[in-house]
Structure 1
């Protein structure tokens, strides 16, 4: 969806971790770990300073918003074990909406400390005028490589090389049998100083990888993509190819989708790839839009969330003498004061830790939607946390997917479901609870993307509570290896996952499939508690997957 550029500037008032003789407090040697998804960077270490200045820049590709957040952990570097100094978790939804956020953020899980970050959201655009080389050495574009397949790979490099080394080794009978096997090939793709490796396709002269890779580009006019196919078993090169990125500039869509002739390989050996080049552009925020940051020009807090647990919280802005910002707006303060549900279980949708929808309660939303569409099923009443979906209209514009909740999926349980378990605050009945999903097809990655946001109002299977997780199949494939599974959330009826899964299939195949999604209770093997909490199936043939949909 875009790129987040993180300027790690400085920190202040960090906690002292180093000590001498167990009593005298010294200064720390802080460094930062920054993560978005599976990509992590480490900053330099600043020696003996509780107010370190880094002035470093990091860039992350963001595939899903909502669904991915920026995580920052600070540590004190020590010879034996590094000490934790505080953390920060920022929702990228607000950064995407604002374009640029330059703030002091309070650190969580520590007694003191603030971190100064400048965050820039870079959108991907098809505009060659934005591809001029940046004087500061920052990326100006992103290259997306869809690695499809290869054709007629040689079994080994002796098929096209007549060197003396080959003539000597081929006399060995054992080696001769080994080179007669079909190659087990993988691909190394390199742009600049970054190299990425594909999976290995075993024993095939015509391997199919079906993987997507992304690279940051500093100069599209001078950089190239280097491709090398190697045999895993013999550690030999089966072919190479070099594609100058300037070739993509000749196409108005900055796209190449073709077979490329392999060098140092057989004369009829090719590799098929789709290359897409997109310029990075900082979007200027709409001055009429209600901002989401917490600088002086904004009206509410950026979604700074506490790491760990099932809840995401608005973290108060720093003290005025540090950040020089006004307090949280009256709307946010009023919503924070909403009454909480008086229950021993984990707080539900009324919990103040969930991002509120301004001026409306959940019941009000349900009643209003029912008035607008009386035939609409109550399951479609939307209540989203702002850390997941920024504003309600964004979700309402999406078309709802037809789904069927399966009562038959609930086996017998020793836990008795009384009528009180099924009565909700607004008078409707939702005996199985709800799950929020976002589904779309990513054409460039050739994959079906399923984002499991969270569940609400699940029915407990015992008085001890439940530990829910979500299991996904893309029917009719029920193989164990194809199963997708979220993490387990402990003791909650309203788990929040924000986890993304991909099924690498063609759009034609996906349109013939059905998503089978079950919410289950993680329980001991010998437990008599009910395992399945509910199930939903989505017929993908009825959906516009390119546009995508989101629904409770």
Structure 2
């Protein structure tokens, strides 16, 4: 016998014993579970307990398992995208879309080289993230959880993992101030990090964190010394998408309703730290204006009125298919959020709600509207639809008043009015704004504001008893606080705050320096804001105020105060990127000896496309390029069918946006009756119901005003293949006697859209198909 045979026999015997042991444990495990299940059912029957006590936990277990599987699929997809090489992503895209190899996104540039640098630097980022979590995030979350009676939050373990974040594209703006550089980045993180925390002596944690959104980096000010950039401001334009899995004790809460509360807390803390108007500042050079870096003045204020909604979906369905909804609307701009009241039992609610948003950046921000139906019980409220408005478009127009259709909904639209308010340094602008507010308050009871107060808390001196001080500020019902400084009599805060002020003539600023350990007030300042109205440029800079109530009477607080009066910008028809006024006339029109147009011919200012769309009725200009040439236009357009004013542009979310503003000078009917016009849209070659959009019918009008907005989801590579058909239709008559003849039509080639002139007047042409609708 070979010497190795006994050893081989022993190994075979060990393997067999191990396999038998595994088989026995597996079947004993199955037997134990089955026995426990049958015993549980037996005990329920033996003690005459309700079967619902058994079904309730089973229902939640099934629901939790289903949710976990959905999250796993979603996470695997996001991680594969975040970790995939750019070439692999493009190859997958090209399998489903006919894109050239260099196409990624219309406005974004490829930065694969930057992702490679991030991958190399990622192992060294752990220490910075540890300090960020311990000293910035931990105090904020601890304060937030104390509202839910959960005390003592702290990070126990912070593991960043091996998978770095990924930047899928970068855009650098070239139309900004020469003293700053603005860069947008599509940020995605789906890593293998792990954070363990303790709350009220219970340990829990999160893993598989996912964060994605558009991040902005502002480099300002630009300086004349290396590194040429004085500081960075890093922030998300809107709330990023956040998801994660819970571990430890928190895994019990990973089910609908409870996990949403935890997720909202995490999102709230991210928003509080780096979602506009909050920024994460990084100072790179010493000799710069730190107040301008950490707390720049807002670009302006948006005053929003959500007036009403129509034809919302019915979520509370009753007998015979009849039902209503209990709708309310949530408005978001970055981290700012407002909510209307709930209107019960209606699909056509009238809210008449007004609010105001601070706007810190004009580029890239969108005002979001979400309409929900209130649901009683543990279920989340049902979504009735979403809509959005571009802040830059509102700034260009000065004011918009339109009906906006709801996406993610079968039906419904909301009536929105938005006004842009600029910041003025003249005290004379206050009274007109107060009069405007008083007029608006007749329709809405929500408080509106006439000014913005900027407060910079620099430092305090000679406080008592070595406190842990922080500063609390009050203006009206609004309260804000600085971070706590540990054990110092001379704290340096260097934090800025912005307040909306209803009336600076009657309101005051209250400032308190508080000891965080004992909750005692070290001293306070009360300042009437009307004092600022008498100051030059409405501001007080680098002033040291004595703290009243401070023992010893030597404590002081250094502050900067700036007041800016809100001034309503009048609605304008042109502006940067808006329609330009070009004087044109149609060749062949006769004039009188005095040079005045004959009857039926009107000289006016209109917008003309230099490159005409297919069948667009704007006449060719006789000049070259954008040269202004005086011509004459007939009142009813070249074909005598009237004209239509449209805004057509391609949006940042791969969507075609159309706003139907108005139709001018439609002809009356043969019997002298006024038409009942509406506008219908199709995105050709698709002539199906899904492609159809239409406005309301305006009764008895030759000059109907619509201001209704529509959207089509459209990949950029499809633009050159699509044509927008815009038809004006007369909807006259009732029921079966109704006739709907086409009054005029415009066809726009989507591949020839002029981004610099989105709003234009088009002459209506005879329709290609004259059949009635």
TM-score for both structures, normalised by structure 1: 0.52
Q: Which residue of 2 aligns with 1:262?
A: 547
Distance apart, 1:124 and its partner CA? 0.2
Q: Which residue of 2 aligns with 1:123?
A: 422
Distance apart, 1:312 and its partner CA? 5.0
Distance apart, 1:125 and its partner CA? 0.7
Q: How does 1:22-61 map to 2 (within 5 A)?
A: 24-61=321-358
Larger Rg: 2
Contact kept in structure 2, 1:304 and 1:315, CA below 8 Å: no
The higher relative CO (CA closer than 8 Å, separation ≥ 6) is in 1
Contact kept in structure 2, 1:186 and 1:229, CA below 8 Å: yes
Q: How many residues align?
A: 313
Contact kept in structure 2, 1:91 and 1:303, CA below 8 Å: no
Q: Which residue of 2 aligns with 1:205?
A: 489
* Structural RMSD (CA): 3.3
Distance 1:225 1:328, change over 3 A: closer
Q: Which residue of 1 aligns with 2:706?
A: 325
Greater helix content = 2
Distance 1:102 1:44, change over 3 A: same
- SS for the counterpart of 1:235 is coil
Deviations 1:42-81 (A, max 9, x none): 1100011100000011001001111322111100011122
Provide the rounded CA distance (Å) in 1 between the counterparts of 2:327 and 2:498: 31
TM-score for both structures, normalised by structure 2: 0.38
Deviations 1:344-388 (A, max 9, x none): xxxxxxxx89996359xxxxxxxxxxxxxxxxxxxxxxxxxx9xx
What 5-or-longer segments of structure 1 have no aligned partner?
A: 156-181, 341-351, 360-385, 391-552
Distance 1:271 1:301, change over 3 A: farther
Distance apart, 1:303 and its partner CA? 7.8
Provide the rounded CA distance (Å) in 2 between the counterparts of 1:28 and 1:92: 30
Distance apart, 1:205 and its partner CA? 1.4
Provide the rounded CA distance (Å) in 1 between the counterparts of 2:426 and 2:492: 32
Q: How does 1:294-313 map to 2 (within 5 A)?
A: 299-301=646-648, 311-313=654-656
Contact kept in structure 1, 2:403 and 2:413, CA below 8 Å: yes
Q: Which residue of 1 aligns with 2:453?
A: 143
Which residue of the other structure, out of 491, 510, 514, is the alignment partner of 1:230?
Answer: 514
Provide the rounded CA distance (Å) in 2 between the counterparts of 1:215 and 1:327: 34
Provide the rounded CA distance (Å) in 2 between the counterparts of 1:119 and 1:70: 10
- SS for the counterpart of 2:531 is helix
Q: Does 1:68 align with 2:365?
A: yes
Contact kept in structure 2, 1:311 and 1:354, CA below 8 Å: no
Q: Which residue of 1 aligns with 2:381?
A: 82
Contact kept in structure 2, 1:312 and 1:354, CA below 8 Å: no
Distance apart, 1:209 and its partner CA? 1.8
Deviations 1:313-351 (A, max 9, x none): 52665622168538999xxx9x997437xxxxxxxxxxx
Q: How does 1:9-408 map to 2 (within 5 A)?
A: 9-20=307-318, 24-80=321-377, 81-132=380-431, 133=434, 134-135=437-438, 136=441, 138-155=448-465, 182-257=466-541, 258-266=543-551, 267-289=553-575, 291=578, 299-301=646-648, 311-314=654-657, 319-321=694-696, 325=706, 338-339=719-720, 357=755
Provide the rounded CA distance (Å) in 2 between the counterparts of 1:83 and 1:129: 47
Contact kept in structure 2, 1:186 and 1:232, CA below 8 Å: yes
Provide the rounded CA distance (Å) in 2 between the counterparts of 1:320 and 1:248: 49
Provide the rounded CA distance (Å) in 2 between the counterparts of 1:192 and 1:92: 28
Deviations 1:416-454 (A, max 9, x none): xxxxxxxxxxxxxxxxxxxxxxxxxxxxxxxxxxxxxxx
Deviations 1:192-223 (A, max 9, x none): 11111222222221112222211111211111
Distance apart, 1:121 and its partner CA? 0.3
Provide the rounded CA distance (Å) in 2 between the counterparts of 1:247 and 1:284: 29
Contact kept in structure 1, 2:396 and 2:574, CA below 8 Å: no
Distance 1:288 1:58, change over 3 A: closer
Contact kept in structure 1, 2:403 and 2:707, CA below 8 Å: no
Distance 1:205 1:312, change over 3 A: farther
Provide the rounded CA distance (Å) in 1 between the counterparts of 2:655 and 2:356: 24
